[in-house]
Chains A and B, each alone.
Chain A
């Protein structure tokens, strides 16, 4: 298992570097210049973070209904990756904003929403770590609530402040910009799938270990 880990990382690195080359060759955006290229690794993690949050909520709901540990392991892995991708989006976002808007942070809807969703899933992990026995059920409940909360957060934050470039920009990007963006998106998606599978495998091994301890009563 551990040996299978390294080649995967190498493959991902190759994919990542190729995405980077594509990004480097993409034309400069006229008004933003070089900093526009942050977009290629800001947008994919941000979108994937939201999808991952919803995925985690669905898996948690499945766990609450079916009580199968497999769902819980996937939900935990998805929650960890939501936090990871959220951190990436939240750090690259301000780096872009510094150049584009002149400040590190603005309370713009999408940034605020990412921040709040990130906080909900950090609290998921905190509950998981410090909640003691039975916390997997409780955190599943939290994830379901967090998922259901997403549209409300979006609506309320949207009415509160507005500054972010419109989402509709993405599909209408000229091809020169769009190709590297989608390559980068595919890279992040693949990375997500690999990390998720690996994390679930580790959780399975841990469960196996616990079972072994119980069986051997050492």
Chain B
């Protein structure tokens, strides 16, 4: 594994861990001693976090896919140009 790829994996891993952390935080905490009157406000917060997590995941997934395709395309185009220049060198 090249260092660059390693960096990407580490980055991905960090994002994953951060996401997991956010999810754990999003869990409603100990509710036993919370007065009933404060519950609705407490309800709102985890919902918002779940919503943000869902939205963020959609973005991350789509962008990751686009990025993968982008890299694949770049590689193919580079190889094609290399190949054609080699062939051009050979011909004359």
Using a CB–CB distance below 8 Å, which chain A residues touch chain B? 1-2, 5, 9, 20, 33-35, 37-38, 41-42, 45, 80, 84, 87-88, 91-92, 95-96, 98-99, 191, 195, 198-199, 201-202, 205-206, 208-209, 212-213, 216, 218
Contacts and interface: CB of A to CB of B under 8 A. Distances in A.
Contact of A41 (B55, B70, B72): B55
B61 A87 contact: yes
Given A33-B47, A34-B47, A88 B58 contact: yes
B50 A98 contact: yes
A35 B50 CA distance: 7
Given A95-B51, A99-B46, A212-B80, 10 more contacts: A1-B73, A1-B77, A9-B66, A33-B43, A38-B54, A91-B57, A95-B57, A96-B50, A202-B72, A218-B86
B44 interface: yes
Main secondary structure of the interface of B (DSSP, over half): helix
Given A38-B51, A41-B54, A95-B50, A202 B69 contact: yes
Contacts of A205: 73, 76-77, 80
B76 A202 contact: yes
Contacts of B73: 1-2, 5, 198, 201-202, 205
A191 B62 contact: yes
Contacts of A195: 65-66, 69
A97 to B, nearest CB: 10
Interface string B77-92: 1011001101100000
A92 to B, nearest CB: 4
A88 B61 contact: yes
Q: Which of B48, B50, B74, B86 has the most CB of A within 10 A?
A: B50
Given A84-B65, A88-B61, A2 B70 contact: yes
Nearest to A84: B65
Given A33-B47, A209-B83, A91 B54 contact: yes
Given A2-B73, A2-B74, A199-B69, A37 B51 contact: yes
Contact of B83 (A5, A84, A218): A218
Contacts of A96: 50, 54
Nearest to B70: A5
A124 B46 CA distance: 37
Nearest to B73: A202
Nearest to A6: B70
Contacts of B62: 84, 88, 191
Nearest to B48: A34
Contact of A33 (B44, B70, B83): B44
Contact of A95 (B54, B76, B80, B84): B54
Contacts of B84: 212
